[in-house]
Structure 1
Amino acid sequence: MIEDPEIATAAIASGYEVIGGALEPGTVVVDGIADPDAQVRIPLAGLTRHVLVAGADRTATLQVLAEQLSAAGIPVVVAGAATDLSGLSASGDPTDDVLTRAGDTGDESWTPTGYPVACYSLGAEGTGIPVRVTVTSFGPVLLAKALGLDTDAEAALTQVFRGADRHGHPLLDLADLRRAVIYAEEDGADLTPETADALLDAIDDLENAGGGGCFGEPEIEVEDLLRVADGHGTIDLIEVGGSIRPALSSVFPLWLLADLIHTLPEVGEVDEPRLVFVFDEAHLLFADASETFLHEIEETLDLLSSRGVGVVFATGAPTEVPDPVLDRLGTRLLHALPDPADEAVFAKAVGLYPESDVYEIAETIRSLGPGEALVTAMSEIGTPTPVAWTRIRAPRSRRGTVGESAMRASAQANPLYGKYGRPIDRESAYAKLTASVVGPTDEEPTETPSEAGQEIERNLFGIGRRRRR
């Protein structure tokens, strides 16, 4: 029992005093009692040091964070939870439980509110605006993980990409990639028939698993994810599950982040992020990841910080995130663990937090109730805030989904649906490779290898971008 709960509560709250903009996820709890006046404030400036949201109740917390970011004029991208969070677009219900929670957490101005939401779907079979990427842009590293290739097959795939880049052959979809593999084998590349067959089989498997519609044009432009409408940041929900192979849906967000690094200028320290990107079900990203792949993720987080982008990893347990990545997550919100009897998970959870003068960390984690989290954040001066047992605010928007038909109607009414809704079939590698057999015509001059080589840049994860002219 704490000697003076009021003094303890005030001491914790003083560690969350903020001069600039901040998120207010909830209020301090001591001895099981929430103080509506003791606000937990997470500085917006610290979000570019990245965030962990873990545990059983994380979806509701993501909803509260997205609402407040949008209200602050900061765009949010959520990859993987389009259905669960589509209720952000509709006003919430003022039930007795919601109003009681609003009172407990000092949210006296709670008002049912909907937010500007755009629903996207990876590929053309989902309910949202179709999201596609060209094979050339996706690159060999991410594609090898999506295809489930071993080290030798990944090296062969890299050769195929190098040959296509060198000859100026754009690989737009999986049909182009399939033809490029065949061409590389016939062209005398160091590609055995067995390896070529293995690559072709993997491409067929990915296409049969729903991956075909994810590759092609028009390719999503990350600038469209940085929109502000009437002073509110747009919340872009990208559905990356469904029938799509998990290995592809888990790495696709990395392409978006790497492309943001390619697109956005360095800005250094910022008062608030220009974008917050949420990985839901983040454990899929790290499954079977090599040390090289993990190192690129770490480098990606560092580079995104310098471009004013914050990343949120949302997952069931902290053990699902590798230590080098956890070390880069300055703000941590841990809810009740799905399996508190798992000693390895529990030990990792305890280790996320600095020592506390108020709480015994292990006991507090076991005591967290529904809609409560253990919080520490990156302060405005770059130091950890005191550990705060926090009662999370009630979302102002609707909990759960608005339904598939409403999501589909919203997507088709979005002006961006006209930009991305229908696939474009321009000249592909197949046409160029066919032309290379019969020779160039007067109407269609070919590029020299040096010209083509100057056009494709490959950066983090091997993603490719044509140089802007």
Structure 2
Amino acid sequence: MWDVTDRIFLGASRRPDDSIQQQEFMSLRYANRHGLITGATGTGKTVSLQILAESFSNAGVPVFCADVKGDLSGIAAKGEPKDFLLKRAETVGLEPYEFQEFPVIFWDLFGEKGHPIRTTISEMGPLLLSRLMNLTDAQEGVLNIAFEIADDEGLLLLDLKDLRALLNHLGENAKEIGKRYGNVHSSSLGAIQRSLLVLEREGADFFFGEPALRISDIMRTTPDGRGAINVLAADKLMLKPRLYGTFLLWLLSELFEELPEIGDPEKPRLVFFFDEAHLLFDEAPDILIDRVEQVVRLIRSKGVGVFFVTQNPLDVPDTVLSQLGNRIQHALRAYTPREQKAVKVAAGTFRPNPDIDTFEAITKLGVGEALVSTLEAKGVPGIVQRTLIRPPSSRLGPLAEDERAEAIGLSPVAGQYDEAIDRESAYEMLLARAEKAAVDDGRNTDEGERDDKGGSRWTLPEFGDDETRRKSSSKRKTSTKRRSSSRQSVGEAAMKSLARSLSSQLGRALARGILGGLKKALD
């Protein structure tokens, strides 16, 4: 195992004649100043991520990263002594070159290839939910009102059915709510409900609920002092890019909010790799980009390093790009005007090296080569070097299914997140209110009917004669029935929401029958 003390071995730089010049390192002290790994498909970005994750783990730093293609899961298994790996290790001076497996915790939003990750609607918040559902400003305003009412009335928003029930509550009481919080338009409510339905079909109902992820569980270290490597299975998640980007931004925001300030530590408390980073910024509103910039700028003092991994440096906004001090640039192609602009941007972000034409070098790098510039003493960027990246110590390629299952079973969080919990929250509380209102209205209606039948009749002179009283009673019954219908609709809507969330066709059929019977009884 490479002896990691205060720095991470990246590889060896080359002179213009391709001979080895010197070994290249990244200082652990400045790893929380963030980083960027870029390059075209197939140029070695995943291997660079893998060796960084290995080195951080050996240094006692926990890591969180997404496994987009499934290849990164091999980090949990010992590498194999293949000729090209041994030759690369010899070339860059990696001695001794030892193969090892690393402590990995597998996660999966859908609970298929790892432990489920959940959060609550409340923890996600209206800003990220609006981004996830692609809401307009007006619709986001209604969602903010919903969250404000939930806070004022003590309604817990844990999962999607809680939010649906609350939105129905807003619709039924729009006039009263509008007087206190602002107008709630039915069109906006309908659009949000439709967006929730789309989210549910994309699998977001797996993500929202309890038990919610504890940040401490992704910041574990092993008894021998190595940091846990948290690998998120993202192969299916990549088919839902908005959910993927929003989830990682939520996790980054949670780290920012929960971790205390520690200044500049000797090594990071956690390193966070954001693979396919362009999915975070694509079509993102300015307020969201501002949020990302704020988190990236300030989370450094909490001891968290963030590395963005993407194909093109243009994928990252300039305000965020300027915060990324450690750079690993793999080959880029420059065939189109946009690609040529990307190469110029990448070349311009490095501290120049008089021996290297940075623009030309980026287009001619081989697989496993990169232009590397890391922060040196006092956080000053180092001169860019053309570097041959060291080989990984763990397996190149994915784990077999039985190997992954074994790793999940032996995980330190096994059994803690596997079963979902559905405790009393907004859905149940609003349903209970509706049922109580129905009972109260039914009792009032029964009393009025008994009076008409002579069961418990009383009169006072100022209330008028019997004919006036009968008309008044008739009006009162009509008004009561209307109120009953209005209040019951919250309960009906909540029950219909429950029916939609049932997974099997039989469940849906049974629920429709129950709701039909309930509606007839209410009518």
TM-score band by shorter chain is 0.7 to 0.9
Q: Considering only CA atoms, is the larger Rg found in Structure 1 or Structure 2? A: 2
What is the one-letter code of the residue matched to 1:142? L
Describe the shift of the 1:46–1:263 C-alpha distance in structure 2 as closer, same or farther (beyond 3 A): same
Among 205, 214, 217, the alignment partner of 2:210 is: 217
Among 110, 126, 135, the alignment partner of 2:97 is: 110
Q: What's the offset of the Cα at 1:413? A: 3.0
In the alignment, structure 1 residue 237 sits paired with structure 2 residue 231? yes
What is the one-letter code of the residue matched to 1:29? R
What is the one-letter code of the residue matched to 1:167? E
* Alpha-carbon distance in 1 for matches of 2:436, 2:322: 55
SS of the residue 2:416 aligns to: helix
* Alpha-carbon distance in 1 for matches of 2:207, 2:67: 15
- Give the structure with the higher percent strand: 1
5+ unaligned residues in a row in structure 1: which ranges?
A: 1-18, 441-469
Paired residue total: 420
In the alignment, structure 1 residue 42 sits paired with structure 2 residue 26? yes
* Alpha-carbon distance in 2 for matches of 1:362, 1:296: 32
Deviations 1:27-75 (A, max 9, x none): 111125242x711111111111100001131000000101111111111
In the alignment, structure 1 residue 281 sits paired with structure 2 residue 272? no
Describe the shift of the 1:248–1:32 C-alpha distance in structure 2 as closer, same or farther (beyond 3 A): farther
Among 65, 84, 93, the alignment partner of 2:71 is: 84
* Alpha-carbon distance in 1 for matches of 2:409, 2:145: 40
TM-score by length of 1: 0.86
Among 99, 115, 119, the alignment partner of 1:129 is: 115
Among 253, 258, 276, the alignment partner of 1:258 is: 253
Alignment of 1:409-420 (within 5 A): 409-420=406-417
Q: What's the offset of the Cα at 1:340? A: 5.3
**What is the RMSD computed on CA atoms of the aligned residues?**
1.8
* Alpha-carbon distance in 2 for matches of 1:413, 1:428: 33
Deviations 1:396-435 (A, max 9, x none): 1001211334223322332312110110111121111123
Percent of residue pairs identical? 36
Q: What's the offset of the Cα at 1:376? A: 0.8
Q: What's the offset of the Cα at 1:237? A: 0.5
Question: Which residue matches 2:38?
Answer: 54
Question: Which residue matches 1:299?
Answer: 294
| Greater relative CO, 1 or 2 (CA 8 Å, sep 6+) | 1
* Alpha-carbon distance in 2 for matches of 1:281, 1:405: 28
Describe the shift of the 1:377–1:152 C-alpha distance in structure 2 as closer, same or farther (beyond 3 A): same
TM-score by length of 2: 0.78
Q: Is the 8 A contact 2:33 2:325 kept in 1?
A: yes
Describe the shift of the 1:52–1:34 C-alpha distance in structure 2 as closer, same or farther (beyond 3 A): farther
Question: Which residue matches 1:448?
Answer: none
Q: What's the offset of the Cα at 1:439? A: 5.4
* Alpha-carbon distance in 2 for matches of 1:80, 1:174: 27
Question: Which residue matches 1:465?
Answer: none
5+ unaligned residues in a row in structure 2: which ranges?
A: 178-182, 438-523
Deviations 1:174-195 (A, max 9, x none): 1111111111121223221111
Among 329, 346, 351, the alignment partner of 2:348 is: 351
- Give the structure with the higher percent helix: 2
What is the one-letter code of the residue matched to 1:355? P
Describe the shift of the 1:169–1:241 C-alpha distance in structure 2 as closer, same or farther (beyond 3 A): farther
Q: Is the 8 A contact 1:316 1:338 kept in 2?
A: no
Question: Which residue matches 1:308?
Answer: 303
In the alignment, structure 1 residue 191 sits paired with structure 2 residue 178? no
In the alignment, structure 1 residue 227 sits paired with structure 2 residue 223? no
* Alpha-carbon distance in 2 for matches of 1:32, 1:198: 62
SS of the residue 2:36 aligns to: strand
What is the one-letter code of the residue matched to 1:254? L
Q: Is the 8 A contact 1:279 1:314 kept in 2?
A: yes
Among 398, 402, 419, the alignment partner of 2:399 is: 402
Q: What's the offset of the Cα at 1:80? A: 4.4
Question: Which residue matches 2:14?
Answer: 29
* Alpha-carbon distance in 1 for matches of 2:374, 2:235: 30
* Alpha-carbon distance in 1 for matches of 2:101, 2:334: 34
What is the one-letter code of the residue matched to 1:103? E
